[in-house]
Amino acid sequence: MSKARFITLEGLDGAGKSTHLAFIRRYLEQAGIDTVFTREPGGTPLGEKLREILLDIDTEATLDTETLLMFASRQELVSSLIRPSLAAGRWVVSDRFTDATFAYQGGGRGVPAERIAILEQWVQQGLQPDLTILLDVPLEVSQARLSQSRLPDRFEREREDFHQRVRQMYLARAQANPGRFVVIDARGDIDAIQQQIAAALARLQEA
Ligand SMILES: Nc1ncnc2c1ncn2[C@@H]1O[C@H](COP(=O)(O)OP(=O)(O)O)[C@@H](O)[C@H]1O
Ligand SMILES: Cc1cn([C@H]2C[C@H](O)[C@@H](COP(=O)(O)OP(=O)(O)O)O2)c(=O)[nH]c1=O
């Protein structure tokens, strides 16, 4: 029995996270791995309330307040779900985690990375994902997908240059952390993308 693993899924809105999460769920289920699925912001009763506030287009918050609320949700998730699950031998898969704060609040909004890193240390105390799957698509692709699906939330309605900076920050973080990240070109054929995800999961099982 391999040790419990912590996996995060990242990417621009519309990159395909929900689509591929369903695949990850099936894969781990078939592999007989007991897994907890969660999301950020959210994943706990308090976190889901904070999510509502953070995604509400009528919310006005300064950059630091927005960042602190992301980490408040994360603190609750780490201490009440992620750590206990991993300690009990269950794998954890989170739809977004701290890389999203570096990308959206850091890259997108301009909060200095050093400030985010202080909160990361405060909340995570060294806890990091074992694997981060970054679904990378150019903005034209993510925007075209989103426009067909739903009403934009407070982040999705940001301007194009915001999302370009988010994407660049994700790619920069992947480059800086090659041992943890797998970057997947998420433009094309869904089966081909899922083969790459399956390969990353298989490597993690063997590690
Ligand atoms: N590789 C792909 N090719 C074509 N359409 C896709 C692909 N991946 C996702 N989609 C579609 O794009 C839309 C957004 O995908 P979704 O999984 O909801 O993205 P996210 O959760 O990252 O916002 C959905 O309608 C989905 O069916
Ligand atoms: C976790 C996290 C999310 N976000 C943003 C990115 C997304 O636009 C939004 C969460 O939405 P998302 O996870 O994409 O949910 P859905 O697929 O239902 O739209 O929150 C941040 O800005 N910072 C963070 O730290």
Q: Residue 65 has what pLDDT?
A: 97
Give the C-alpha distances (Å, rounded to integers) separating 52 from 11, 42, 49, 191.
Answer: 20, 9, 5, 33
Q: Is residue 93 part of a domain?
A: yes
**CA-closest residue to ligand 2 atom 11:** 13
Write the pLDDT tens digit of every residue in 12-63.
Answer: 999 999 999 999 999 999 999 999 999 999 999 999 999 999 999 999 999 9
Residue 92 lies in a domain: yes
Residue 58: inside a domain: yes
Inside any domain, residue 1: no
Residue 130 counted as domain residue: yes
How many other CB atoms are there within 10 angstroms of residue 49's CB atom? 13
Give me ligand 2 centre to Cα 97, in Å.
9
Name residue, tokens 């991993």: 86
pLDDT at 2: 64
Which CATH number do you get for residue 84? 3.40.50.300
Host domain of residue 185: 6-206
Nearest ligand to the CA of 95 is 2
How long a stretch of residues is the chain?
A: 207
Strands 91-95 and 35-39: parallel
Domains: count for the chain: 1
